[in-house]
Amino acid sequence: MAIRDLRDFLTALEGHGELQRVREEVDWDLEMGAITRRCYDLGAPAALFERIKDYPTGFRALGAPLGQSKHPGHFLFARTALALGLRPEASAKEIMAAYLELKERPAKPVSVNGGPCKENILIGEEVDLFRFPAPLIHEGDGGRYIGTWHTVITRDPDSSWVNWGMYRLMIHDRNTLGCLFPMQQHIGQIYQKYEAKDLPMPAAVAIGGQPVIPIVSCVQLPAYVSEVEVAGALQGEPVPLVKCETVDLEVPATAEIVLEGEVLPHTRRIEGPFGEYMGYEAGKASPKPVFRVNAITYRNDPILPFSNMGMPVHEGQTATALLKGAEVYSELRKMGLPVRGVFFPPYGVGHMAVIATETPFINFAKRVAHSVWATKPGLFTYYIVVVDADVDPTNMDEVLHAVTTKCHPVNGIHPVPHIPGFPVLLPFLPPKERLLGDAAGVIFDCTWPKDWPAESMPVKATLENLWPKEIKQRVLGKWEQYGFKDK
């Protein structure tokens, strides 16, 4: 079935056993967050909360929309697969390959005069962010976060480029939000341009669109790439956009909730802390930009999706890290590097990349690693493991074997100081470096050195390598005769 909005996606999830309707009344104050955390921990279905304390019937929330799956027969990334129109049994390799194939056919959006997101319109004094059941997710959070699985839409003041990105949004009061806009991200660079001109930055937030919309908003596409065109490619048809009421921007017409307004220049207010994607409440409360909301539009019976960032595995390690690996692979291939696969392991929280590659010359792993750091999607990668082409980067057993047998404990590990880091949040940095985003990286070279003579190259002790062809054929051909059921 075509997935044209969040509700289509819920139908797909429910049809495959990946959705749990929670009809018991739950509290937005920590209870929804705790239930969603438990869903991640168990690989349980996404939770659709249908009765929320203090909110009228029809106002709903969706926890763990692309969380890990442990449904029988499904793969870890089943919900990401369904979001891309694939079967829930699809492997990481199949999902990444499909993503790269689909995104090669970008679809320009179509402008429409109206849409479901316009069913209710609030402007000026009518605006009230507390109208929606934004959860207080973790104990200790600085406030209720309405933006954890959404899209922030802004336009570069110096060009026609419109950026779609995902940056957390905390409710201060009825019409203002606190924003985390790192300077290493496109939103921070765009905001800096407006602030230098002493101008407010027009912005819109689309919450609850079809899943390809938040997906493309958080895979860190290069600058000047149109995320909405990639979203159209992934869903197989153009995304319908409708004009905002108060700012010169367009938003997905099928979004559940749209916030419109402007990010004020030279204005800061305390935001945070928040239990973040790497599994810790690492960043302290600090002054951050303020988004003044001037209008809200929303669907009847709106659904507010949210991600409970924290210990893996959540959306940051399913859709985000998986497709970030596909993007890094694509970028490295464009550079002419002979890579065979790239994977960001789920428990690596997007900070570790495994790259399988041919090694045409000595110290090639260093070139691969620095090429990763040169890409936009590889920006916040700190641990790079380079393995030979015969290692499957999605198989952590094979990767661990390569690390412990092919990476020299001294000569094969290369620390790299002073690379850009995610400011405020990185747990392994001391306070000063954490504030600045002054991070470090490390390269694990798990490839056989090119200067070794051929006779020194160890041969893998596998059935494929160490038995004559006729013996292999005999064993495989008589496997069931030996009494085994599976080949």
pLDDT tens, residue by residue, 154-195: 999 999 999 999 999 999 999 999 998 988 889 999 999 999
Residue 343 sits in the same domain as residue 300: no
Do residues 15 and 160 share a domain? yes
In a domain, 126, yes or no: yes
Q: What's the longest Cα–Cα distance across the chain?
A: 81
pLDDT tens column, 8-43: 999 999 999 999 999 999 999 999 999 998 888 889
| Whole-Å CA distances, 180 to 175, 357, 432 | 17, 36, 18
pLDDT at 276 over 80: no
Instruction: Give backbone dihedrals phi and psi of 455, rounded to 5 degrees, phi first.
Output: -70, -15
pTM for this model (two decimals): 0.86
Within a domain: 76: yes
- Is 201 inside a domain boundary? yes
- 368 within a domain of the structure (yes/no): yes
CATH code of the domain in which 358 resides: 3.40.1670.10
pLDDT, average across residues 325-350: 93
Check whether residue 125 and residue 69 sit in a common domain. yes
**β-pairing verdict for 303-306 and 60-63:** parallel
Confidence of residue 96 (pLDDT cuts 50, 70, 90): very high
CATH number for position 153: 2.30.110.10
Mean of pLDDT values over 102-123: 96
Does residue 28 sit in the same domain as residue 67?
Answer: yes
- Whether residue 461 lies inside any domain: the answer is no
201 and 350 share one domain? no
Please report which helix (H) or strand (E) contains residue 108, including its range. none
Looking up tokens 């819109």 gives: 204
Note if 276 is an active site residue.
yes
Tell whether the model's pLDDT for residue 282 goes beyond 70: no
From the list 276, 281, 315, 331, the catalytic residue is 276
In the chain, how many domains are there? 2
In a domain, 467, yes or no: no
In this structure, are 44 and 186 located in the same domain? yes
pLDDT (tens digit per residue) in 38-51: 888 889 999 999 99
* CA 178 – CA 317 distance, rounded (Å): 24
Residues 13, 69: Cα–Cα separation, whole Å: 11
Crossing angle of helices 321-334 and 364-373, in 10° steps, is: 120
Average pLDDT, stretch 60-82?
94
380 pLDDT tier (thresholds 50, 70, 90): confident
Within a domain: residue 24? yes
| 430 CA to centre of own chain | 26
- The least confident of 1-5, 265-269, 333-337 is 1-5
User: pLDDT value at position 457?
Assistant: 81
Let me know whether 73 and 197 are in one domain: yes
Same domain membership, residue 344 and residue 296: no
Q: Is the same domain home to 110 and 236? A: yes
Final residue of a structural domain among 261, 286, 306: 306
Regarding whether 179 and 33 lie in a shared domain, the answer is yes
Span 335-339, mean pLDDT? Answer: 96
Separation of alpha carbons 454 and 477, rounded Å: 33
Flag whether 330 is in a domain. no
End-to-end alpha-carbon separation of the chain, Å? 35
Q: Are 292 and 387 members of one domain?
A: no
Same domain, 276 and 378: no
How high is the pLDDT of residue 456? 83
Q: Which two tokens stand for residue 32?
A: 């929804």
Amino acid at 379: L
Tell me the per-residue pLDDT of 283-307, one tens digit each, with 9 for 90 and over: 678 899 999 999 999 999 999 999 9
Quote the domain boundaries for residue 405.
335-456
